[in-house]
């Protein structure tokens, strides 16, 4: 395959495959823009129908989308938002990432700020809004943001517009004003042809770091905000979030039906996802595209990760970057890929650990999911020593929190640590170990 020098420079190693970019990108597809368009989304027909039935047949809703980390929840909701946008449901440009230290006011203010930014950036919206209302939004979020700092309870008066002496009064920004502001935004959107709005929140599980009292306080504080007419709030989280919401019955009751649950993709689904990406990224013209991987490599990673699409894509990106040779295309096959990934896991993670941390990591790998207490009992070590080791392992991204039950926190190996399951001495007959030797 003849490769033009300029194309090589523009597309990097991917030009060797006739591609404009990385088909293995583990990042979520975005509702707007992105190197890989949302049109490369594949599958989830049943789940799409379930969530569309809620959005298109109700004037407001609260929806929970759950599933294990890395199964494609964010991309799924971005695709749903893109479909809804085509049917005149306004949405924010990007999803909103929930932070563990938010209170109810933070939640509402970040939401409104994301909506305001999207009103300004999506073509043809801002210039159709009520001018006076836009000036108020500018006070809160834009050009004149901060002008009312230090004023409490009353009205902030500032000069706006093209004429000197024209002043605009904006009420202090409290929870009541924020709810009214969202309501007024929806009214303006409906006047210009939108039928409603969808707002997407990621990482709901991060609120598990709060104690139960503060979780209840946060959700009770946003309950009325979440019932704004014309708005569909979609929350994305792992398998722990349903239990979290059940701690706040007044909020749990306003969610629509059971969660929209995401299972891992099938092997054929993964192959179809990659095929669509290769097709979209093809440079075209006189250049043909070719797959940078063998089906056997995908099958090996599928077995290792039980279909977790993010872990598979991240492994492919890491392996091909490690093995690529300048201006020479390679095709990932199981044995070289496995050896490269194991070597990276040893160098990047295991080499940083002391013996206690290695023992704790080995125990988590063996048990697949376990707690501080269970590790302490198995290793006959003090709980404090286990806690210190777990803190270090989390800092190095060797393990992650899986779920919380009462005071018990369950930990699992990170996807990268699973690269240690590759057997570097294999002859190719049995590439994946049943046990990790570290």
Residue with tokens 């669509």: 276
H-run or E-run covering 299: helix 295-305
Co-location of 413 and 355 in the same domain: yes
pLDDT above 70 coverage of the chain, percent:
86
Residue 169 lies in a domain: yes
Asked, for residue 276, whether it belongs to a domain, the answer is: no
55 part of a folded domain:
yes
Residue-level pLDDT at 395? 93
Q: Which of 106, 52, 113 is nearest to 79 (CA)?
A: 52
The CATH number of the domain where 331 resides is what?
Answer: 1.10.10.10
Is 40:281 a contact under the CB 8 Å cutoff?
no
Q: Which of 247, 262, 277 is the last residue of a domain?
A: 262
Amino acid 326: pLDDT = 67
pLDDT, tens digit (0-9, with 9 covering 90-100), for 235-276? 999 888 888 888 888 888 888 878 999 999 999 999 999 999
Looking at the structure, do residues 313 and 415 belong to the same domain, yes or no? yes
- Do 52 and 129 belong to one domain? yes
| Closest-CA residue to 229 (of 193, 185, 177) | 185
In a domain, 205, yes or no: yes
Q: Are residues 258 and 297 in the same domain?
A: no
Domain residue limits at 423: 292-438
Same domain (yes/no): 103, 201: yes
Instruction: Return the DSSP state at 428.
Output: S
Q: What is the pLDDT of residues 43-60, one digit of tens each?
A: 999 999 999 999 989 999
Is the pLDDT confidence value at 137 over 90? no
C-alpha torsion sign, points 368, 370, 375, 378: negative
Instruction: Give the CATH number, domain containing residue 110.
Output: 3.40.50.300
Nearest-angstrom CA–CA distance, 411 and 401: 5
Q: If you compute the radius of gyration of the chain from its CA atoms, what whole number of angstroms results?
A: 25
- Residues 338 and 385 grouped into a single domain: yes
Count of structural domains within the chain: 2
- Confidence tier at 152 by pLDDT (50, 70, 90): very low
């Amino acid at each position: 395959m003849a490769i033009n020098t300029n194309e090589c420079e523009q597309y990097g190693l991917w030009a060797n495959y006739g591609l404009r970019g990385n088909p293995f990108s583990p990042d979520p597809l975005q509702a707007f823009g992105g190197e890989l368009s949302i049109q490369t989304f594949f599958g989830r027909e049943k789940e799409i129908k379930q969530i569309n039935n809620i959005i298109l047949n109700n004037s407001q809703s609260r929806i929970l989308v759950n599933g294990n980390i890395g199964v494609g929840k964010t991309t799924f909701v971005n695709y749903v938002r893109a479909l809804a946008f085509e049917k005149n449901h306004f949405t924010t440009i990007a999803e909103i990432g929930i932070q563990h230290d938010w209170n109810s006011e933070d939640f509402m203010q970040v939401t409104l700020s994301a909506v305001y930014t999207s009103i300004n950036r999506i073509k043809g919206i801002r210039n159709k809004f009520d001018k006076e209302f836009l000036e108020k939004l500018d006070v809160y979020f834009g050009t004149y943001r901060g002008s009312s700092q230090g004023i409490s309870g009353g009205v902030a008066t500032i000069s706006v517009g093209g004429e000197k002496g024209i002043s605009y009064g904006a009420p202090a920004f409290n929870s009541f004003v924020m709810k009214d502001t969202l309501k007024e935004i929806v009214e303006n959107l409906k006047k210009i042809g939108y039928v409603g709005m969808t707002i997407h929140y990621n990482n709901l599980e991060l609120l598990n770091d709060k104690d139960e009292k503060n979780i209840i306080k946060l959700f009770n504080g946003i309950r009325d905000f979440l019932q704004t007419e014309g708005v569909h709030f979609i929350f994305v989280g792992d398998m722990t979030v349903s239990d979290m919401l059940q701690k706040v019955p007044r909020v749990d009751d306003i969610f629509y039906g059971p969660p929209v649950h995401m299972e891992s993709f099938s092997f054929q689904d993964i192959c179809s996802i990659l095929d669509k990406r290769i097709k979209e990224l093809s440079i075209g013209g006189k250049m043909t595209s070719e797959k940078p991987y063998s089906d056997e490599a995908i099958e090996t990673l599928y077995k290792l990760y039980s279909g977790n699409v993010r872990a598979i894509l991240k492994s492919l990106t890491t392996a091909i970057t490690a093995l690529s040779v300048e201006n020479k295309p390679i095709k990932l096959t199981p044995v070289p890929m496995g050896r490269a990934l194991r070597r990276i896991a040893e160098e990047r993670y295991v080499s940083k650990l002391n013996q206690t941390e290695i023992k704790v990591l080995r125990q988590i790998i063996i048990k697949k999911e376990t707690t501080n207490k269970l590790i302490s009992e198995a290793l006959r070590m003090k709980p404090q020593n286990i806690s210190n080791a777990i803190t270090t392992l989390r800092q190095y991204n060797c393990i992650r929190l899986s779920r919380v039950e009462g005071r018990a926190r369950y930990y699992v190996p990170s996807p990268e640590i699973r690269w240690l399951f590759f057997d570097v001495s294999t002859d190719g007959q049995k590439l994946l170990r049943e046990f990790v030797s570290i």
